[in-house]
Amino acid sequence: MICFGLEQFIEYDGWIHIFISRAESLRTFHADWHKTTQPPLYFLLLKVFSFLGTSLLAYRALSIAGGLVSVFMVGKIAEQVATSRALGLLAAAGFGLSTTTVIMSCEVRSYTLAVAFILIAFHRYLRMVRFEAGVKDYLIFSASVIAGILTLYATAFFLVAAAITPLVIAAFRPDYRRELFSSIRATKWILAVSFAAPALVLVAAYRHHMWQWARPLNYIQEFYFNPAADTWSGFLLRGIRQEFNLFAPFAITSERLSLLIAILAAIVGLIVTLRALEISVSVPVIVFLILSVQIVVAGLRGTYPLGGHLRHQFLIFPFLVLSLISIAGILIRSVQPRVIVALIAAVIGANAIAGYLHFQIVRTPLFTSELQKFRTVVPSNTLLYLDEFSTIAFFSHYQTWHWHLAGSDAIHTLYYEVTKDGQSMRVIRARGQWNLKPFDEAFYVDLRRSMDLHGARSAALFGLSTIPAGMSADEVRTRVARAAATQHLTIDKIVVDGPNLYVLLTV
């Protein structure tokens, strides 16, 4: 994690999170955070961790901390469910050495932190389902789930799985059923609070923020079910194969084969674990299956990406590891323990080595050439006018500078004074405009107002991905000049760089 964190540059969404965490006022923070798909806790903690500095590793420290806690908790839980110190250590090694965990721990995102909270809750939950929990266990479970929800909304899947799992076990085991109902009567107030409190937080989060993102997101629409373009069976086959290939050490191209493997694994896992004497052995498998079913259903409903990017499915990965270790714990009771442990160790070692040998992710600084071309157009001390997308791209190259929000005005723009070591820049951020509209006359009305407000005789546009495909450079120059002239703005320099546009305008 440290090696990857030191060497690999941060991707775009990571810079968005860092930028939001830099907000100097609660009002600005709320406005910026509210436009993301994530809950607020990670951004707030990222601000707390800002004392570590502005290095790549410092920005990743919070996610790496979440990853390390998750590794420890996986080992702790595995030792408990498998009743084997060796299998606990192997589970921690398998989870921690996986490139999946390494990659996610170095994302400047909330996923590993949320998983850490979920695993802390699950550790206490195992005591609850065994009827060994005290008030402290219930409270830690509830607090951890709430922290998870405020870090990642998908924590709701775990809360649902935790509520259903005892009922599934009770359906197959009459002895557990009697003890479950007896325990519910004995602990009804603390049990109700431990589940009701996270549920209320989830409802409040949904009403305030989450509701607007319970739909297919533009940039990952292919991972949601679209009845107009796909059949549910085709969507499921494709999604399950993609899910399988995210975590399996080998790739499968056949959708039917991946479905068959998934069904057989689920059946075998349920049969083996439900017949186990220890209740806690079956819990990771059942939770994993319920989590998987929920993601499938949410994918069909168009509210969660099935088979999407690794980050969207990382929630189920620790439970997959714990499920496999639970089954291994059953096997070592009937087979030579040393043989099973040695076999698992060999598989984990081979998987880790293969993962690192085939490690493909290499990240370089974003928009370096674009910014260099823009700087050839813009003289020093020019007022910079950026849209939301370009602001983050620009910030990623000037993140070590101090971005002071000096003011905002009635035309929905924010004015930043960006300074470092006696150098300064003036930046206007056009809030609400994801991409500039350089051919729209109304755009130049706002631009001219901003220039007049800040006493600027010139302004520069840094517009990434603003030019439609197929439009010639001459047409772009003509249309920009025509629209800018309506506000008596003259083009001094203009560079058309594929979909990007860099313009210097003067009054």
Domain that holds residue 18: 2-209+231-357
Average pLDDT of the segment spanning 59-70: 95
Minimal CA–CA distance to 106: which of 18, 10, 15, 13? 10
Answer yes or no: do 332 and 306 share one domain: yes
Query: Given a cut of 80, is residue 411 above it in pLDDT?
Result: no
- Residues 237, 280, single domain; the answer is yes
* Lowest-confidence region among 185-194, 373-382, 404-413: 404-413
Confidence (pLDDT) at 269: 73
User: 244 and 203 in one domain?
Assistant: yes
What's the mean pLDDT in 170-182?
83
CB within 8 Å of 69: residues ≥ 6 apart: 116, 119, 120
pTM confidence score:
0.91
Write out pLDDT tens, residues 181-214. Answer: 887 777 778 888 899 999 999 999 999 998 888 8
Could you tell me if residue 217 is inside a domain?
Answer: no
Instruction: Answer yes or no: do 384 and 346 share one domain.
Output: no
Give the residue among 122, 184, 187, 124 at the shortest CA–CA distance from 157.
122
Contact indicator for 230, 187 with CB cutoff of 8 Å = no
Say whether both 249 and 302 belong to one domain.
yes
Same domain, 433 and 340: no
Pairing of the two strands 413-420 and 402-408: antiparallel
**Cα separations (Å) of 305 from 211, 218, 245?**
16, 11, 15
Both 336 and 203 in a single domain? yes
Say how far apart CA 39 and CA 43 lie, in whole Å. 8
- Within a domain: residue 221? no
Domain match, 388 and 296 both:
no
Instruction: Pick the last residue of a domain from 311, 332, 357.
Output: 357
Angle value at C-alpha 181, between 180 and 187, nearest 5 degrees: 85
pLDDT band for 122, please (50, 70, 90 cuts): very high
Domain boundary among 324, 357, 390: 357
Q: Give me the chain's average pLDDT, please.
A: 87
423-430 sheet: strands from edge to edge: 402-408, 413-420, 423-430, 383-386, 458-463, 500-506, 490-497
Cβ-proximal residues to 77 (8 Å cutoff; 6+ apart), any chain: 91, 119, 122, 123, 126, 284, 322
